[in-house]
Amino acid sequence: MSANQPDTGFLLLNTGSDAFIVRAALIESARQSIDAQYYIWNDDNSGRYLAGRLVAAAERGVNVRLLLDDINVAGKESLFAVLNGHPNIQVRIFNPARSRSGVGRFLSLILDFDRINRRMHNKTFVADGYAGIAGGRNIGDEYFDEHPALNFRDRDVMALGPIVGDMTDNFSAYWNSQWSYPLEQIYQPQPPELAASARSRFINETAQAQAFKSIPPQGFDAAETFLEGRFADLTQAPAKLVYDEPPKDPNAPTDTPKLTAKALYDLVAQAETEILVESAYFVLADEQLEDLRDVVKPGLSILAITNSLASNDLVTNHSAYARWREEMLESGIELYELRPDAKGCKAWVSNEAACDNGAVSLHSKAVVFDQSTLFVGSLNVNLRSIYLNGETVLIIQSPEMAKTVAADIRHSMTPENSWQVTLDKGGDLLWRSSDQQVDHEPDVGFWRRAKSRFLSWLPLEKYL
């Protein structure tokens, strides 16, 4: 965890389009190094495009290090092997399963359960040690407003200044961990001539403007001009970066909150009037609710928005939330669940066709305290993030940025964008929006509701 740093410049990346273009521009303009750390890097249009631009950067002498969590690497190794074959690119995999595919991989996940559950959920991107991005987004079409049917409402922050050095420290801690393995140790490299041919194809495919909804800048000069315009909009603010160190022993007990969670607890204890929570997965169980009762001041309001069953990409994760939903309401938390047909989609996702014909899901992780402090990063307010995952968060002391995010969160809580969940006089759940009031999970079929209800009976919330 860094101490409070001298003021750094920050820029909110509130749409996937913006997040995609800024990452692409940083790759194009990099002169010396790129360090990228992600939980997911998809082998789709945007994932392959950014991979191709990393190869192009390496061709001009930039040293590229790519660190990926293993849980989502299976089946995509060939993409990363193409990159790893370049002399200026190194790829490492964090905490890999011993078996790489099929039944063997499934069995290794079960038999090595404690270790495998310790995931690197951190998401950072640093170019030349001076500009960085931290937040909730992985790499893939659904994170960058490019998916035809399902796009995520997400949030990143670009930083320019001293705190970027702490992002590099975060990256280095995981890169140098004993649990990070060079890709070639766990995946058979391609023959050099095939890898070289694939890299050339990557460069050629991505050298021209792609058929993206938002076209990234092409070439060094265009990227520099683009970034100079963005740098002019930076907000200067004191801030600190907090990250969880990789586990020295992944089989050790996991009953102590990690550093990022402790930082969140401290901010909760200091809050005076209002806490606004935006979390894709939201789970507070007995221990957390008891801690909340101990520190909450009279008059403090806590409002939280998370996914509904209809908007959640994972029924399993929703079931963990559903298991504790009534207790969270009884503790005084005001709960909202995102509608997949939220009217705000067109403000959040720069892909109108996807908003008209598809759905929006929440992937953001941000908390605003007293309209003055912004807590944003990879940490979901749930038990997995609190106890198991490695996470990275920024704590930015900026009323300007805090109020901007607070307004965004409040907008997402309006009836055209979400259902408010309450308890009726008999203690039963009700969902209310601009055009509905129902006593069951709205806009989903019986079997999806039944699956969520069944899973909610199982005490698995720490692992979901």
Active site residue 86: no
* Contact call for residues 417 and 283 (beta carbons, < 8 A): no
Using 50, 70 and 90 to split pLDDT, how confident is the model at 47?
very high
Active site residue 166: no
Numbers of helices and strands, H then E, in the chain: 17, 20
Question: Residue 449 CA to chain centroid, in angstroms?
Answer: 26
Residue 65 has pLDDT above 90, yes or no: yes
For residues 119 and 259, what is the distance between their CA atoms, to the nearest angstrom?
15
Find the mean pLDDT for residues 10-39: 97
Active site residue 121: yes
Collapsed DSSP state (helix, strand, coil) of residue 274: strand
Using 50, 70 and 90 to split pLDDT, how confident is the model at 3?
low
pLDDT, position 188: 82
Residue type, 275: I
* Contact call for residues 337 and 387 (beta carbons, < 8 A): no
Residue type, 391: E
Q: Which of 370, 411, 451, 462 is catalytic?
A: 370
* Contact call for residues 66 and 91 (beta carbons, < 8 A): yes
Tell me the whole-structure pTM to 2 decimals: 0.95
Using 50, 70 and 90 to split pLDDT, how confident is the model at 17?
very high
Q: Give residue-wise pLDDT tens across range 392-440.
A: 999 999 999 999 999 999 999 999 999 999 999 999 999 999 888 999 9
Count of other CB atoms within 10 angstroms of residue 358: 18
Question: Residue 192 CA to chain centroid, in angstroms?
Answer: 34
Q: Which of 123, 147, 258, 318 is catalytic?
A: 123
Q: Give residue-wise pLDDT tens across range 341-359.
A: 999 999 999 888 899 989 9
Q: Which of 18, 35, 69, 121 is catalytic?
A: 121
Find, among 184, 13, 186, 220, the residue nearest to 101 by Cα: 186
pLDDT, position 4: 60
Residues 12, 235, 15: CA angle, nearest 5 degrees: 15
Q: Give residue-wise pLDDT tens across range 118-171.
A: 999 999 999 999 999 999 999 999 999 999 999 999 999 999 999 999 999 999
For residues 40 and 75, what is the distance between their CA atoms, to the nearest angstrom?
12
Residue 5 has pLDDT above 70, yes or no: no
* Contact call for residues 202 and 51 (beta carbons, < 8 A): yes
Mean pLDDT highest for which of 65-79, 378-392, 442-456?
Answer: 378-392
For residues 223 and 131, what is the distance between their CA atoms, to the nearest angstrom?
13
Place of tokens 């631009």: 53
Using 50, 70 and 90 to split pLDDT, how confident is the model at 251?
confident
Q: Give residue-wise pLDDT tens across range 291-308.
A: 999 988 999 999 999 999
Within 8 A by CB and 6+ apart from 326, the residues are 423, 427, 429
Q: Which of 112, 128, 291, 341 is catalytic?
A: 128
Determine phi and psi for 60, rounding to 5 degrees. Answer: -95, 10
Q: Give residue-wise pLDDT tens across range 252-287.
A: 888 999 999 999 999 999 999 999 999 999 999 999
Q: What is the mean pLDDT of the chain?
A: 93
Q: Which of 147, 258, 318, 363 is catalytic?
A: 363
Report the share of the chain in percent with pLDDT over 70.
Answer: 98
Q: Is 99 exposed, middle or buried (0-12, 13-18, 19+ CB in 10 A)?
A: middle
Active site residue 286: no
Using 50, 70 and 90 to split pLDDT, how confident is the model at 7?
confident
Q: Which of 86, 318, 365, 443 is catalytic?
A: 365
Beta-strand ranges (E) seen in 180-267 are: 180-182, 235-243
Find, among 107, 153, 201, the residue nearest to 341 by Cα: 153
pLDDT, position 203: 84
* Contact call for residues 390 and 246 (beta carbons, < 8 A): yes
For residues 98 and 100, what is the distance between their CA atoms, to the nearest angstrom?
6
Find, among 327, 247, 343, 244, the residue nearest to 282 by Cα: 327
Active site residue 363: yes
Find, among 394, 384, 391, the residue nearest to 173 by Cα: 391
pLDDT, position 411: 97
Active site residue 262: no
**How is residue 281 written in tokens?**
């997965």
